[in-house]
Amino acid sequence: MAKNKLNKNWLHDHMNDPYVRLAQKEGYRARAAYKLKEIDETENLIRPGQVIVDLGCTPGSWSQYARNKLAGKDGGGINGTIIGLDILPMEPIADVHYLQGDFREPEVLQQLESVLQGRKVDLVLSDMAPNLSGIAVADAARVAHLIELAIEFARSHMKPSGSLLVKCFNGTGYNEILEEFRKEFKVVTSKKPKASRDKSSEIFLLGKILKNPL
């Protein structure tokens, strides 16, 4: 009974969520687009001509937002390159290179290299989150692992002057992740956009300028 009530409450909140309605109206696949939009508007992260990688991109709302920001090139298309990576399938998005698979696998890395054509990445986005179990310590370890992967990816593929934005959770293990970011980046800020629900411990970490690029 309690679970049914919880599901009904979630559904009610979801259907009445202004960001869900806005996403439906503006054609975004998820309300998450507005989290990136707000961070981008304050930090000016997405700019014409950039190479952007979206880790854990499915269902694609962050790639959609980035694509819309880079649109407007003469004759259609975008002024820049967007590459989405995920182990889950994603419906195609115009002008976005989507690669399905684990980005640590040689085959996927090879595909990535062929799209990059020797270029380094300006911006790495990661809205990746594990399936949470409710066991704080185990969940914190899963979150930390995904963020480590994103940092590792940024160190390997990003320009020294680039930026990495990751989803995090303000709870067990957060201070350690923050410390890790401070070790890797010269400028570190945390962001809680309005589109992130108040009751969620979700927070975003933004690192700019690598201290020790590979």
Q: Return the active site residues.
A: 167
Distance CA 116, CA 114 (A): 6
Q: Is 50 left (phi over 0), alpha (psi -120 to 50) or beta?
A: beta
Residue 60, annotated as binding a ligand: yes
Residue 74, annotated as binding a ligand: no
Residue 122, annotated as binding a ligand: no
Residue 54, annotated as binding a ligand: no
Contact residues for 38 (Cβ-Cβ < 8 A; gap 6+): 191, 193, 194, 195
Distance CA 60, CA 58 (A): 5
Residue 127, annotated as binding a ligand: yes
Contact residues for 25 (Cβ-Cβ < 8 A; gap 6+): none
Q: Residues marked as binding for S-adenosyl-L-methionine?
A: 60, 62, 86, 102, 127
